[in-house]
Structure 1
């Protein structure tokens, strides 16, 4: 039997709190799940520092990746199967890309990426194409199959319909993480009628479209996404933890560059500090390793590193104030001066953090990023862009919302044993 068509002797299932069961019949999918690179995702949290705000948010990229695979499997096996517009030869490519789409995420995901200037999608492609167990499994399908999967992940594949199932404004990735993150954070914002959306999905030549009769379910999905971003993903307390985590890594790198003598050598970080990271280095670093260093760095002689690590480990986070950088830049300059005068390093203890989201948009030629719109399939067979038919979506289309916060250590400012007058001036400026 050809490996790509090989089925398991009996179906394997994963019990899942969101989809009830994740079903696996294809040998290649089962083998991919068993690779060490995929198992590593168990040690990467889906929501980074959000567990310090929503205590249930301990779920992993492993959970989410299986969920995305299951949604895609249902779409192509239950909805698209037998439809002339769908090419069943793309089935295995779509399933593998769905399963592996987040394979390159590093510890604490986006926070980690920002510090070391990485892109997890680049590492996903490197894992798929490199000397890895994942690559060996994919090559059993065909010699060029890893390249095909990598191109879908990179959104450069000629199979645009396959790409749209995994990466678009209404894709399996978003449909899983909204429901999964809502479940584990205990909120209701991410709930929407996925069953209805799946039933009205239709394959077209280069994209997946939605029957007009399913428009209201899509409206609900978009509003759920909007609410999740502002109530969960951009929660100011989670962002405070992210600021501290980022500053810990910046401080550790700066100390290394200044030849600081660590009590315990951060050997796992050497290649990251020197911009010489190999794929093997990257795959060895997970959140358990990061937390180990945060634990032991609490005992370092460097006051800033040890303080920041104690804050993160013990959840003594920064306070925050509303801040408008366009109007309050003079206030920030004055606060910086006062922090320095009080002996508080503003580089690590006075931080502006900005979060921005665009809930829905249609393609605008010449703009920075192409956003493939959601198209509705009308009864006469025509396609119409969603915001042209939905007043709800039209009201938020193209409207980017940005939130700025100024983070600072409230406990430092409350301690009046030193620099009492300066700290009073700082509190006045911060309106606390």
Structure 2
């Protein structure tokens, strides 16, 4: 038995040898080198926590759910171990800078790479088989296709261990207090009914607080303008790199090209190559591309390294935008100017069955949250905005 001292959950007990072995795999250790919030670290100096710590946190939150006597009595030992593993591994496929990397990895998102790591020729796969855990069972929980839908909902639903941990963790590390959730009360009032994760009505206010906390975290943290500026600058760096590759540009350093070749060709990246990618390697690639002769690639490399990101705004005068464009060569304007349409922020979604939150009524039947929540009746649940992207080095 081992303990991990966590700044969010305190002592995290590692009781299962399979969990300890998975943590020690090279694929899981790679998560130490991937910052959880990507561009958020450039707004909040303390937000340098990693996907590694988040995955440990999700494992711990699921452990707390499974300690709930009602839930514990309805799950066998194999399923208990499998869902803990799924929680631990759910983000193992994330690329550098977390979600930022998905702006360029169009062929596959991080969830698909996660499944590839679990089912592929990896240390993770070997550990699972060594401990007689079917990798497909773990993959099915993460994909939300396991026959026991309750296990799926613990890892991926509108109120799951993933969201509970990242809201708490991101709130603590950014220094804001919007997501001060009543975690223990929510878990204490959780129940397993009809293979669904449901809650007693006395937890309604705590769940409403969770949704409001999530809303404010998205407004203040996840949708922060600097995060978008980081994403857009990274996207332009990559776009210029790809364009030069397609133009048969003679790179001084071919290592960067070799690593990104599958992405340039819009293919699924070879898993061995993909696992070489983390925040550290990306920064090193940018240092190397800052030495290329191409002025645009050099500029974006420097912007990424030294926090000179492109600017964004929800509103900009066309005349001012045109004057800025006139300062950039026409063939380069696509790298420095863009528009992001319809960024949507949803407080609560009931479009899909798996995303609905249910409460137990006095007669034992279930009621969907929007039918009993005053908050959801009073608050607009969908907010949209557009963003203009432009070059303005006076914006900090």
TM range (shorter): over 0.9
Q: Following the alignment from structure 1 to structure 2, what is the Cα–Cα distance between the partners of residues 74 and 338?
A: 54
Say which SS state the counterpart of residue 240 (structure 1) adopts. helix
Q: Distance in 2 between matches of 1:193 and 1:362?
A: 23
Within the candidate set 115, 138, 141, 1:125 is matched to 115
Measure the CA separation in 2 of the matches of 1:156 and 1:306.
45
Q: Report the counterpart of residue 273 of structure 1 in structure 2.
A: 264
Of the three residues 291, 307, 311, the one matched with 2:283 is: 291
Does residue 253 of the first structure (1) align with residue 242 of the second (2)?
A: yes
State the match for 1:185 in structure 2: 174
Correspondence for 1:168 among 142, 151, 157? 157
1:112 aligns with 2:101: yes
Structure 2 distance, partners of 1:120, 1:253, is 21
Query: For residues 276 and 128 of structure 1, do their structure 2 counterparts lie closer, same or farther at Cα, with a shift above 3 Å needed?
Result: closer
Matched, 1:135 2:117: no
Residue 348 of structure 2 is matched in structure 1 by 360
How many angstroms does 1:299 deviate by?
Answer: 2.3
Do residues 404 (structure 1) and 390 (structure 2) align?
Answer: no
CA contact (8 A) 1:79 1:201 kept: no
Distance in 1 (CA, whole Å) between partners of 2:123 and 2:361 is: 45
Aligned length: 389
Match of 1:387 in 2: 370
> Residues 25-40 of structure 1 correspond to what in structure 2 (within 5 A)?
25-40=15-30
Distance apart, 1:382 and its partner CA: 1.4
- Select the structure of larger CA radius of gyration: 1
2:44 matches 1:54 = yes
- State which of 344, 355, 367 in structure 2 corresponds to 1:372: 355
TM-superposed CA distance for 1:63, in Å, is 0.3
1:366 alignment counterpart: none
Aligned with 1:168: secondary structure? Answer: coil
Pair 1:130–1:264, CA change in 2 (3 A): same
Q: Indicate the residue corresponding to 2:81 in structure 1.
A: 92
Aligned equivalent of 1:244? 233
Contact kept, 8 Å, 2:154 with 2:160, in 1: the verdict is yes
TM-score, scaled relative to structure 1? 0.85
- Determine the structure 2 residue equivalent to 1:314: 306
Q: Distance in 1 between matches of 2:166 and 2:349?
A: 20
CA distance in 2, matches of 1:204, 1:147: 25
Query: 224, 227, 236: which is aligned to 1:235?
Result: 224
For the 8 Å contact 1:336–1:350, the answer to whether it is kept is no
Displacement after TM superposition at 1:253 (Å): 1.0
Output the CA distance in 2 between the equivalents of 1:46 and 1:200.
Answer: 29
Structure 2 length-normalised TM: 0.93
- The C-alpha deviation readout for 1:124-164, integer Å capped at 9, x for no partner, is 11110001111011112437x10111111111111110000
Q: 1:389 Cα deviation (Å)?
A: 0.9
Alignment counterpart, residue 146 of structure 1, candidates 125, 135, 142: 135
Structure-2 change in CA distance of 1:341 and 1:231 (3 Å): closer
RMSD of aligned alpha carbons:
2.2
Distance of 2:388 and 2:46 partners within structure 1: 27
User: 1:23 and 1:279 mapped to 2: Cα distance?
Assistant: 31
Helix, strand or coil at the partner of 1:142:
coil
Q: 1:126 to 1:297 in 2, by over 3 A?
A: same
Q: SS of 1:411's equivalent? A: coil
- Is residue 263–residue 300 contact of structure 1 (8 Å, CA) maintained in 2? yes
Gap regions ≥5 residues in structure 1? 1-10, 364-368, 414-432
CA contact (8 A) 1:351 1:406 kept: yes
Aligned-residue offset at 1:319: 2.5
